[in-house]
């Protein structure tokens, strides 16, 4: 099941402890939730902004609520989940810092995954082409991308440090393979962080 | 002129006469309690496949069978039937006429045993919770303890949502479509227009119109016309009728139904009075206006759901301005706060509130997936 998942989701699915409670924020069509439910007996709930994604997820028997990470997380009680997960959604929120803050309030730990804007291909595109990067990782043009807060690995680490959060784990991906922590800001296409307050 | 007589006009299929008394929210009580219902499918050995369908204001128990008065197919055949999300091949499906109504369950047109005449306005004022308690009495009578699901749209959604608040251990799944946790001022206002139309009809006569068969159908028709507008969307009306004229090339400079939309509404009003009792309309709209689940739980909607382990599925439609998406969201937020398992989706439809009764593959997909999911 999990080998069909997007690489960052597969990594999260492998790391979540079985039998836990998980809130997947920006859960899409529920692929990760379904994998967690089917392989790890996880009690998974989802929040997703897109109606057809929600319909697909509920259609597979998952508990998913249509809503907006920027506005709807305030309705979840403190520490009501073992994990809150935000995969590939951070860069689309209006206030990423407040969203992560909310994740760490709701979940005892939070997974945050995002595309690394400082990957060398993007840097080259800006440096030599003078254009916003359109790459495998960031396939949309600047005017139709949902990503409104581009973020790099080092930016995110700085935010974590600034807010006094603790990093319990970090993983970096190049394509579907894990890659080294060294120079992650240059070589990682995706980053996955596991945080707690 | 339509005549109303409960014995001849309103078809009676299965009907349970329960001794009662049924204690009511008002402090009054009702006995006996007649409940007319339809059922489909077979109850399985462990009674784990029972689904209760709750109907809307002017609906009835004929959810998936032809209506005895109008001959039309069941009002929710798109949701309930062979190959549908609620399927008699898999589920034992019950749909009962709400008390206060006029299709065989106790209501103002029923005979008051104390007087031997119809109750009329002596019938006790009801609430949505009273309707649900009556349904629970019917389930007791049928030997059903637990519901695999309770499902309803509009006022049916109010009953469905009330079920786990009153009987937290009797409901496994709760599907609430195009509904709300309380009636808003605007909802009450529209209902009051309808009630005043009925009561302003000289034939209403304080509700005592059963004896001579001269019923306040003009008032009831106007009530239905006003309400019907709230079930549609502005865009839907424009698409269906626009400003087109009805069977004529020019305006008449008179007060005939020049416009198609007028003709349509008049038809809706006239056909409605053939199948509905004006006093029932008063009683059921009143029950909806009194509906506010949070009010019954110290002002906290979340508190209403702390005792139940039911899973919830809420669906709203983007053009429904009668029970707009914000009302469903308020329920979802309360469910999240109470830790209940909740799903919610706003579906897109041009048809306003009525969308829940119309063809909607997405609605069927959501309900089907929800009903199949989460089996312990």
Query: What is the separation of C-alpha B354 from the centre of its chain, rounded to a whole number of angstroms?
Result: 12
Rounded to whole angstroms, how far apart are CA atoms B86 and B367?
8
Q: What is the pLDDT of residues B168-183, one digit of tens each?
A: 999 999 999 999 999 9
Q: Per the confidence metrics, is the pTM higher than 0.95?
A: no
pLDDT of B7 > 60? The answer is no
pLDDT of A174 > 70? The answer is yes
Instruction: Please spell the DSSP secondary structure of B172-202, one letter per residue.
Output: SEEEEES--SB--HHHHHHHHHHHHHHHHST
| Structure ipTM | 0.87
Kindly state which CATH superfamily the domain B14-183+293-372 is placed in. Answer: Alpha/Beta hydrolase fold, catalytic domain (3.40.50.1820)
Q: Which of B333, B341, B362 sits opposite A63 (nearest CB)?
A: B341
Q: Is the CB of residue B326 less than 8 Å away from at least one CB of chain A?
A: no
pLDDT of B320 > 80? The answer is yes
Rounded to an integer, the average pLDDT of B76-95 is 96
Q: Is the CB of residue B148 less than 8 Å away from at least one CB of chain A?
A: no
pLDDT the model gives residue A135: 84
Confidence of residue A34 (pLDDT cuts 50, 70, 90): very high
On whether B368 is known to bind a ligand per the annotation, the reply is no
Q: What is the pLDDT of residues A71-94, one digit of tens each?
A: 999 999 999 999 999 999 999 999
- Token output for B23: 């204690």
* Mean residue pLDDT across chain B: 93
| Least trusted range by pLDDT, from B3-7, B215-219, B354-358 | B3-7
Q: What is the pLDDT of residues B322-351, one digit of tens each?
A: 999 999 999 999 999 998 999 999 999 999
DSSP designation for B102: S
Q: Mark yes or no for CB contact B368/A59 under 8 Å.
A: yes
Q: Is the CB of residue A82 less than 8 Å away from at least one CB of chain B?
A: no
pLDDT the model gives residue B63: 96
Q: Mark yes or no for CB contact A77/B362 under 8 Å.
A: no
pLDDT the model gives residue B10: 34
pLDDT the model gives residue A149: 93
DSSP designation for A67: -
Share of chain A above pLDDT 90, in %: 80
Rounded to an integer, the average pLDDT of A165-181 is 92
Domain segments of chain B as ranges: 14-183+293-372, 188-284
A143: exposed, middle or buried (C-beta count within 10 Å: 0-12, 13-18, 19+)?
Answer: exposed
pLDDT the model gives residue B9: 31
pLDDT the model gives residue A4: 76
Which residue in B34, B258, B296, B320 is the catalytic one?
B320
Rounded to whole angstroms, how far apart are CA atoms B354 and B178?
9
State phi, psi for B342 to the nearest 5 degrees: -135, 140
What CATH architecture applies to the domain A2-117+149-196? 3-Layer(aba) Sandwich (3.40)
Rounded to an integer, the average pLDDT of A108-124 is 93
pLDDT of B11 > 70? The answer is no
A41: exposed, middle or buried (C-beta count within 10 Å: 0-12, 13-18, 19+)?
Answer: exposed
Q: How distant, in Å, are the alpha carbons of A29, B225, B325 from that of A62?
A: 9, 40, 21
Rounded to an integer, the average pLDDT of B235-260 is 94
CB–CB of B312/B342 below 8 Å?
yes
Rounded to whole angstroms, how far apart are CA atoms A61 and A19?
18
**Least Cα separation, residue A2 to chain B (angstroms):** 20
Instruction: Please spell the DSSP secondary structure of B68-86, one letter per residue.
Output: TTT-PPPTTTTTBSTTSSB
Confidence of residue B14 (pLDDT cuts 50, 70, 90): confident
On whether B354 is known to bind a ligand per the annotation, the reply is yes
Share of chain B above pLDDT 90, in %: 93
Rounded to an integer, the average pLDDT of B72-76 is 95
Rounded to whole angstroms, how far apart are CA atoms A46 and A57?
9
pLDDT of B1 > 80? The answer is no
pLDDT the model gives residue B374: 63
Substitution target in A44, A50, A52, A58 with the highest count of B β-carbons within 10 Å is A58
CB–CB of B171/B151 below 8 Å?
no
Confidence of residue A21 (pLDDT cuts 50, 70, 90): very high
CB–CB of A173/A6 below 8 Å?
no
pLDDT the model gives residue B6: 37
Q: Is the CB of residue A76 less than 8 Å away from at least one CB of chain B?
A: yes
CATH 1.20.1070.10 fits B188-284, yes or no: no
Beta-carbon contacts of B166 under 8 Å, excluding residues fewer than 6 positions away, are B129, B132, B133, B136
Strand A166-174 relative to strand A63-66, pairing = unpaired
- Token output for B271: 């056909």
Domain segments of chain A as ranges: 2-117+149-196
pLDDT the model gives residue B47: 95
CB–CB of B178/B317 below 8 Å?
yes
Q: What is the pLDDT of residues B252-274, one digit of tens each?
A: 999 999 999 999 999 999 999 99
Substitution target in B343, B367, B372 with the highest count of A β-carbons within 10 Å is B343
- Token output for A43: 């009690």
| Least trusted range by pLDDT, from A2-6, A191-195, B71-75, B208-212 | A2-6
CB–CB of B164/B308 below 8 Å?
yes
**Least Cα separation, residue A77 to chain B (angstroms):** 6
Beta-carbon contacts of B114 under 8 Å, excluding residues fewer than 6 positions away, are none
- The neighbour count for residue A180, using CB atoms within 10 Å, is 10
pLDDT the model gives residue B92: 95
């Amino acid at each position: 099941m999990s080998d069909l998942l997007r690489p960052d989701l597969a990594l999260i699915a492998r790391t979540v402890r079985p039998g836990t409670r998980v809130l997947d924020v920006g859960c899409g069509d529920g692929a990760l939730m379904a994998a967690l439910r089917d392989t790890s007996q996880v009690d998974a709930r989802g929040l997703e902004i897109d109606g057809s994604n929600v319909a697909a997820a509920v259609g597979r028997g998952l508990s998913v609520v249509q809503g907006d990470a920027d506005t709807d997380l305030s309705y979840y009680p403190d520490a009501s989940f073992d994990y809150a997960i935000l995969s590939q959604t951070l860069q689309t929120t209006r206030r990423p810092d407040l969203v992560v803050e909310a994740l760490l309030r709701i979940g005892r730990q939070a997974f945050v995954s995002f595309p690394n804007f400082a990957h060398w291909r993007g840097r080259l595109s800006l440096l030599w082409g003078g254009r916003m990067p359109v790459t495998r990782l960031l396939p949309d043009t600047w005017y139709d991308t949902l990503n409104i807060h581009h973020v790099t690995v080092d930016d995110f680490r700085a935010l974590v440090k600034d807010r006094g959060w603790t990093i319990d784990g970090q993983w970096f991906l190049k394509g579907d393979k894990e890659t080294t922590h060294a120079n992650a800001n240059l070589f990682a296409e995706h980053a996955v962080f596991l945080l707690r307050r | 002129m339509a005549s109303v007589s409960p014995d001849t006009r309103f078809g009676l299929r299965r009907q349970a006469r329960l001794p009662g008394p049924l204690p009511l929210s008002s402090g009054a009580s009702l006995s006996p309690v007649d409940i007319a219902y339809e059922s489909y499918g077979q109850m399985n050995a462990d009674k784990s496949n029972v689904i209760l369908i709750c109907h809307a204001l002017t609906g009835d128990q004929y959810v998936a069978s032809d209506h005895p008065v109008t001959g039309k197919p069941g009002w929710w055949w798109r949701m309930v039937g062979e190959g549908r999300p609620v399927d008699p091949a898999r589920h034992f499906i019950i749909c009962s006429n709400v008390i206060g109504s006029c299709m065989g369950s106790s209501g103002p047109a029923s005979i008051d045993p104390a007087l031997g005449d119809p109750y009329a306005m002596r019938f006790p004022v009801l609430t949505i919770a009273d309707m649900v308690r009556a349904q629970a009495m019917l389930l007791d009578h049928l030997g059903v303890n637990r519901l695999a699901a309770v499902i309803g749209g509009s006022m049916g959604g109010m009953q469905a949502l009330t079920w786990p608040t009153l009987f937290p251990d009797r409901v496994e799944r709760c599907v609430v479509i195009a509904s709300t946790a309380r009636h808003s001022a605007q909802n009450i206002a529209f209902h009051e227009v309808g009630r005043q139309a009925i009561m302003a009809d000289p034939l209403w006569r304080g509700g005592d119109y059963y004896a001579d068969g001269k019923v306040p159908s003009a008032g009831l028709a106007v009530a239905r016309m006003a309400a019907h507008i709230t079930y549609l969307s502005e865009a839907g009306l424009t698409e269906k009728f626009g400003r087109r004229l009805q069977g004529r090339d020019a305006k008449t400079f008179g007060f005939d139904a020049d416009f198609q939309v007028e003709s349509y509404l008049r038809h809706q009003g006239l056909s409605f009075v053939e199948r509905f009792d004006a006093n029932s309309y008063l009683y059921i709209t009143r029950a909806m206006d009194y509906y506010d689940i949070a009010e019954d739980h110290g002002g906290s909607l979340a508190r209403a759901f702390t005792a139940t382990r039911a899973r919830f599925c809420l669906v709203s439609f983007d053009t429904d301005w009668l029970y707009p998406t914000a009302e469903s969201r308020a329920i979802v937020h309360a469910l999240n706060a109470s830790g209940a398992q909740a799903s919610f989706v706003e579906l897109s439809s041009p048809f306003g509130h009525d969308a829940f009764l119309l063809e909607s593959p997405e609605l069927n997909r959501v309900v089907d997936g929800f009903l199949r999911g989460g089996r312990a």
